[in-house]
């Protein structure tokens, strides 16, 4: 084969593979060899869609509402999502500003397609969700990752936005609560960040995918602070519908046409069955199920944080949302303390527990941290903590 002919585009050089996928492959091999592995690497709820949603999907298939929809999504779902903002945050969002997408992933991709100029710089915290820098790179922008340590809840500050905003900077990409840290940006700081961005005529994309899983205080949407923010959300996490591929954006009125045009071209529409099924997410019956599951995540958070601390995995900022803990591995009793990559390898092979090394989320102090996902049963969490207890003994 003529390899030269099939050379990849140069932008591929800016897109990295996940370290955790390598660990997942090794875990699968160990499982094939008969080992019992506990998966705490994955960022996916262990629950699946609530029963009313499954019934709605079946009914949608029987009714044959399985054809393309409008690129912006079916009208009742856009209205239901707008209604969700009213009940959840007390804010009025017109349904015409809601863009239904194939997950938050497609939402972020669309937002970057619409807003990121070639060569434009987008500020984001380091650590961040790995795909964020790659969404920007996919449109030939440049993610500028700003070191964001525990003193600032692993999130950008307004001061940093002001300091790092350069000639080529066009906007910020934030997530609150964050993956990998489970920490939110405090509302006052978020308001200051949005003001700094607005003063510079930039854009703010705020990923609120984990807001439904906020444990310590009612979540505050960036939309209640600034109407021009582009917010991203999804049915994947709170609604436990990862594989259904459904999410949404709320965009300013004047951008709806641009998002529609790009969505038509890139995706045509989000899954029709998933859209019709998702209408049932907002029924009282489904919301009661989801709230009970959220309470279960909360219970796990409260159990796992002290358990990790007692293993020497210090948690410098208590996560207030999502299902992740970002723990400092420098103080553990192991030769690979402070080398997250080697430590997660050893944890997999010697203890049979999959965790994610900080390296996946950006270079800043990456080897000091590991991400633990508690999107698994309490039984698994207890077993994993017991195994790690022996591993560090
Ligand atoms: C912060 C964040 N944003 C977006 C996504 C993508 O989610 P979706 O399944 O809705 O595409 C994830 C998935 O883990 C995430 O953690």
Task: Render pLDDT for 119-152 as a digit per residue (tens, 0 to 9).
Answer: 999 999 999 999 999 999 999 999 999 999 999 9
Q: What is the pLDDT of residue 15?
A: 85
Query: Are residues 268 and 380 both part of a single domain?
Result: no
Pocket probe for ligand 1: among 24, 42, 105, 360, the residue whose CB has the most ligand atoms within 8 Å is 105
**Is the distance from the beta carbon of residue 85 to the nearest atom of ligand 1 less than 6 Å?**
no
Query: Are residues 216 and 261 both part of a single domain?
Result: yes
Is a pLDDT exceeding 80 seen at residue 19? Answer: no
> Tokens 């990849």 appear where?
8
Measured in angstroms, how far is the CA atom of residue 336 from the centroid of ligand 1? 30
Structural tokens at position 384 = 């994993």
What is the C-alpha to C-alpha distance for residues 83 and 98, in angstroms, rounded to an integer?
Answer: 11
Q: What is the pLDDT of residue 216?
A: 97
What number does the ligand 1 atom closest to the CA of 105 have? 11
Query: Are residues 242 and 205 both part of a single domain?
Result: yes
Look at residues 245, 267, 283 and tell me which one is the last residue of a structural domain: 283
Number of domains into which the chain is organized: 2
Look at residues 283, 305, 339 and tell me which one is the last residue of a structural domain: 283
Query: Are residues 231 and 379 both part of a single domain?
Result: no
Structural tokens at position 112 = 């970057």
Backbone angles phi, psi at 366, to 5 degrees: -60, -35
Query: Are residues 56 and 178 both part of a single domain?
Result: yes
pLDDT by residue (tens digit) across 306-325? 999 999 999 999 999 999 99
Q: What is the CATH number of the domain that holds 273?
A: 3.40.640.10
What is the C-alpha to C-alpha distance for residues 277 and 345, in angstroms, rounded to an integer?
Answer: 40
Is a pLDDT exceeding 60 seen at residue 1? Answer: no
Query: Are residues 161 and 271 both part of a single domain?
Result: yes
**Is the distance from the beta carbon of residue 247 to the nearest atom of ligand 1 less than 6 Å?**
yes
Measured in angstroms, how far is the CA atom of residue 356 from the centroid of ligand 1? 16
Q: Which among 268, 275, 280, 234 is positioned nearest to 50, based on CA atoms?
A: 280
Q: Which among 366, 360, 314 is positioned nearest to 340, based on CA atoms?
A: 366
Nearest CA to ligand 1 atom 14: 43
Is a pLDDT exceeding 60 seen at residue 13? Answer: yes
User: Can you tell me the mean pLDDT for 293-316?
Assistant: 98
Summary mean pLDDT of the chain:
96
Backbone angles phi, psi at 297, to 5 degrees: -60, -40
Query: Are residues 214 and 294 both part of a single domain?
Result: no
Q: Tell me the chain's radius of gyration from C-alpha atoms.
A: 21
Q: What is the CATH number of the domain that holds 25?
A: 3.90.1150.10
Q: What is the pLDDT of residue 57?
A: 98
Query: Are residues 125 and 224 both part of a single domain?
Result: yes
**Is the distance from the beta carbon of residue 239 to the nearest atom of ligand 1 less than 6 Å?**
no
pLDDT by residue (tens digit) across 203-228? 999 999 999 999 999 999 999 999 99
Query: Are residues 224 and 364 both part of a single domain?
Result: no
Query: Are residues 216 and 114 both part of a single domain?
Result: yes
Q: 165 Cβ partners below 8 Å, 6+ apart?
A: 123, 196, 200, 202
What is the C-alpha to C-alpha distance for residues 103 and 135, in angstroms, rounded to an integer?
Answer: 14
- Residue 326, domain extent: 3-48+286-392
Look at residues 227, 249, 283 and tell me which one is the last residue of a structural domain: 283
């Amino acid at each position: 084969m003529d390899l030269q002919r099939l050379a990849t585009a140069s932008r591929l050089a800016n897109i990295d593979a996940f370290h955790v996928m390598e660990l997942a492959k090794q875990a699968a091999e160990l499982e094939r060899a008969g080992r019992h592995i506990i998966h705490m690497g994955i960022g996916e709820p262990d629950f699946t869609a609530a029963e009313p949603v499954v019934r709605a999907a079946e009914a949608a298939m029987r009714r044959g509402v399985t054809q393309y929809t409008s690129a912006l999504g079916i009208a009742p779902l856009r209205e239901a999502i707008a209604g969700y903002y009213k009940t959840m945050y007390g804010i009025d969002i017109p349904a015409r500003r809601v863009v239904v997408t194939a997950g938050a992933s497609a939402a972020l991709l669309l937002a970057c397609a619409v807003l990121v100029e070639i060569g434009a710089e987008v500020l984001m915290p380091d650590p961040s969700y790995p795909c964020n820098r790659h969404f920007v790179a996919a449109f030939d922008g440049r993610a500028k990752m700003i070191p964001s340590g525990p003193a600032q809840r692993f999130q950008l500050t307004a001061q940093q936005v002001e300091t790092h905003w350069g000639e080529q900077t066009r906007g910020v990409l934030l997530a609150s609560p964050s993956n990998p840290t489970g920490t939110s940006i405090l509302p006052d700081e978020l308001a200051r960040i949005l003001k700094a961005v607005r003063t510079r005529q930039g854009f703010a994309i705020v990923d609120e995918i984990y807001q439904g899983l906020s444990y310590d205080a009612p979540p505050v949407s960036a939309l209640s602070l600034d109407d021009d923010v582009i917010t991203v959300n999804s049915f994947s996490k709170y609604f436990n519908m990862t594989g259904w591929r459904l999410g949404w954006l709320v965009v300013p009125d004047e951008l709806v046409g641009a998002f529609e045009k790009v969505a038509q071209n890139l995706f045509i529409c989000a899954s029709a069955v998933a859209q019709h099924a998702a209408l049932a997410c907002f029924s009282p019956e489904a919301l009661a199920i989801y709230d009970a599951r959220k309470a279960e995540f909360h219970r796990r958070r409260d159990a796992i944080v002290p358990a990790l601390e007692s293993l020497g995995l210090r948690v410098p900022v208590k996560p207030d949302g999502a299902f992740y803990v970002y723990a400092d591995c420098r103080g553990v009793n192991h030769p690979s303390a402070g080398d997250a990559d080697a430590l997660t390898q050893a944890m997999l092979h010697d203890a049979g527990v999959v965790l994610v090394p900080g390296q996946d989320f950006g270079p800043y102090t990456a080897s000091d941290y590991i991400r633990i996902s508690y999107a698994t049963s309490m039984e698994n969490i207890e077993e994993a903590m017991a195994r790690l207890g022996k591993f560090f003994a």
